[in-house]
Structures are given as C-alpha cells and as structure tokens.
C-alpha cells in the first residue's frame, strides 16, 4: 500500500510556514549582526548594485526579485541616505541608471564581517555537509519555483558598450 500523504494538520508540516519562520529568524539575526542602518532588502539592492554599476532601477529590482514600485521606494531611501545615485537615462527618461556612492561602497565593506556572522549563525544548527546540502536544496527550490513569484528573479542584463561608458 502506498504511503499516504499527510493531512497537514500540523502547521510545521507546511513548507511555507517553515520558510516564513526561517525568514523571521534570518531577519532577526540580520539586525543583530548588521545593525539598523539598512533593511535586508536595502542591503540586497545595494549589494547587487555594487556588482552591476549603471544598472537601471527596473532591472535591479528584477535582479532582487522585488516589484518595481518597491524597488523604486528602496532606491529612493538609499539615495536619501547618500548610498546610491539615480540619474535619468537620456534615451529612456522613464528609467533611472544607478551607481553606488563611495559611502555606499564603504558601508558594504564595513558590513562584510556582519554578513559572514549572519550566515554562520543562521546555518549553525546544521553540520558542514548539511549546510552545503541545505543551500543546494534551497537554491533548487527557489529557482524551480521562480516563475510562481509575483516578482520573479531576473538574470542581470548583459553589459553593453554604451552601458559601460
């Protein structure tokens, strides 16, 4: 007789519930280790911007898996903090090209030790091999369900000669 599927009466059998709890824990540890200067989404946007200078705001939002209106709000906050600059793209005045400021670069550099501690603390309950397996499986889960998201992750845009200068 085939194994029967759980009735899912126990909330802790729901992967979504466990993922939500894991997110809560991750955010709590984020603030413990990185402080209150940035939110986790602001950190992600700034970290991805550092690797994609000149990217437009819409593409950076997609690269982070957030909707464009949230991305615009996050970029505005980061600009207010002096961590990035937004400039209207001449050939498409509805989009803004983003660059990280020296203050943004310094902040990211200063946050590296905290980010490393965050990762270690979050994965600490797992053995070394389990940590690798967990990250592989979590990546597979996210990538395999990417299209189910309200804001699917996008690949970074290809750098063009005009975008580079």
User: To which residue do tokens 């063009």 refer?
Assistant: 160
Query: Residue 133 pLDDT more than 90?
Result: yes
The span from the CA of 40 to the CA of 5, in Å, is 36
Phi, psi of 131 (to 5 degrees): -60, -45
Query: Residue 165 pLDDT more than 70?
Result: no
Query: Residue 31 pLDDT more than 50?
Result: yes
pLDDT of residue 2: 47
The span from the CA of 97 to the CA of 145, in Å, is 29
pLDDT: which is higher, 51 or 88: 51
**Banded pLDDT at 152 (limits 50, 70, 90):** confident
Task: Count other C-beta atoms under 10 Å from residue 72's C-beta.
Answer: 16
pLDDT: which is higher, 145 or 135: 135
Domains along the chain with CATH numbers: 11-147 (1.10.10.10)
Q: How many CA atoms lie within 13 A of 76 on its CB side?
A: 6
With pLDDT > 70 as the criterion, what percentage of the chain qualifies?
A: 90
The span from the CA of 19 to the CA of 27, in Å, is 12
Q: How many CA atoms lie within 13 A of 81 on its CB side?
A: 21
User: To which residue do tokens 């906050």 refer?
Assistant: 77
Task: Give tens-digit pLDDT for 68-117.
Answer: 999 999 999 999 999 999 988 777 777 789 999 999 999 999 999 999 99
Structure-block tokens of residue 18: 């466990």
The span from the CA of 131 to the CA of 129, in Å, is 5
The span from the CA of 68 to the CA of 50, in Å, is 19
Mean pLDDT of 127-153: 89
Closest CA to 152 of 144, 140, 163: 144
Query: Residue 120 pLDDT more than 90?
Result: yes
pLDDT: which is higher, 61 or 162: 61
């Amino acid at each position: 007789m085939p194994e029967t599927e759980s009735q899912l009466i126990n909330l802790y059998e729901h992967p979504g519930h466990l993922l939500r709890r894991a997110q809560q824990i991750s955010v709590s540890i984020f603030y413990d280790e990185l402080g209150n200067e940035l939110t986790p989404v602001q950190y992600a946007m700034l970290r991805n911007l550092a690797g994609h200078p000149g990217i437009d705001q819409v593409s950076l939002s997609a690269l982070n898996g957030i909707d464009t209106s949230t991305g615009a709000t996050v970029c505005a906050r980061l600009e207010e903090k002096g961590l990035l600059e937004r400039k209207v793209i001449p050939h498409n005045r509805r989009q803004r090209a983003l660059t990280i400021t020296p203050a943004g670069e310094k902040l990211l550099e200063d946050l590296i030790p905290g980010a490393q501690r965050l990762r270690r603390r979050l994965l600490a309950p797992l053995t070394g091999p389990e940590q690798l397996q967990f990250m592989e499986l979590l990546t597979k889960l996210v990538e395999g369900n990417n299209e189910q998201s309200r804001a699917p992750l996008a690949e970074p845009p290809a750098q063009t000669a005009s975008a580079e200068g």
